[in-house]
């Protein structure tokens, strides 16, 4: 069975989609969740699914935090790490040591970074979507694995567009994990 470790920071709707997917049929299981926010709802989601959770809150010394995160990931022995709304840039020592994918709410290389939905609206883009990509040491610069587009509607706000993106994002990340598992 291939081991998946999920990284998440917030509500956890993306993580929930992965928890709910029947990945055992593909020979994979979620073995742990790592979170950096003590109040994140994703921790409750993992608890309800009996998924072991680890909390590593950010500390003043980022190098110490990076070492703690790297050591924990290594101890969990993942075949794949899935960044599902983990709002931290990972250091190169982690991105080169582990296979990590990320979900981003835009069609990369357009609109990298933390404000992708807002940036797409500000730019007047007619479409956006979601991208699943390999994580490297850059900010949303890793190789694209899969993308799905949606039209930006004239009535879209940042919130409404982000909610529509999340719907397709959940399906795409699960489909991408299913696609990757056999080759891990």
Residue of 50, 104, 115, 162 with catalytic role: 104
Cα gap 152→130, rounded to integer Å: 13
Bridge partners of 133, per DSSP, are: 102, 144
SS (H, E, C) the chain: CEEEEEEECCCCHHHHHHHHCCHHHHCEEEEEEEECCCCCHHHHHHHHCCCCEEECCCCCCHHHHHHHHHHHHHHHCCCEEEECCCCCCCCHHHHHHCCEEEEECCCCCCCCCCCHHHHHHHCCCCEEEEEEEECCCCCCCCCEEEEEEEECCCCCCHHHHHHHHHHHHHHHHHHHHHHHHHHC
To the query of whether residue 133 is one of the catalytic residues in this protein, the response is no
Cα gap 157→19, rounded to integer Å: 29
Residue numbers annotated as active site: 104
């Amino acid at each position: 069975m291939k081991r998946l470790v999920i990284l998440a920071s917030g509500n956890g709707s993306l993580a929930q989609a992965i928890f709910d997917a029947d990945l055992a049929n593909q020979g994979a299981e979620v073995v742990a969740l790592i979170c950096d926010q003590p109040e994140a709802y994703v921790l409750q989601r993992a608890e309800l699914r009996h998924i072991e959770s680890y909390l590593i809150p950010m500390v003043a010394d980022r190098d110490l935090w990076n070492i703690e995160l790297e050591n924990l990931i290594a101890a969990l022995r993942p075949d794949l790490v899935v960044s599902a709304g983990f709002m931290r840039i990972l250091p190169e020592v982690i991105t080169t040591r582990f296979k990590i994918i990320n979900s981003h709410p835009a069609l990369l290389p357009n609109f990298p970074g933390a404000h992708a939905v807002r940036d797409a609206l500000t730019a007047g883009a007619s479409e956006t979507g979601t991208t699943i990509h390999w994580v490297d040491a850059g900010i949303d610069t890793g190789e694209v694995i899969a993308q799905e587009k949606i039209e930006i509607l004239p009535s879209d706000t940042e919130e409404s567009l982000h909610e529509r993106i999340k719907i397709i994002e959940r399906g795409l990340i699960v489909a991408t994990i299913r696609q990757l598992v056999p080759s891990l």
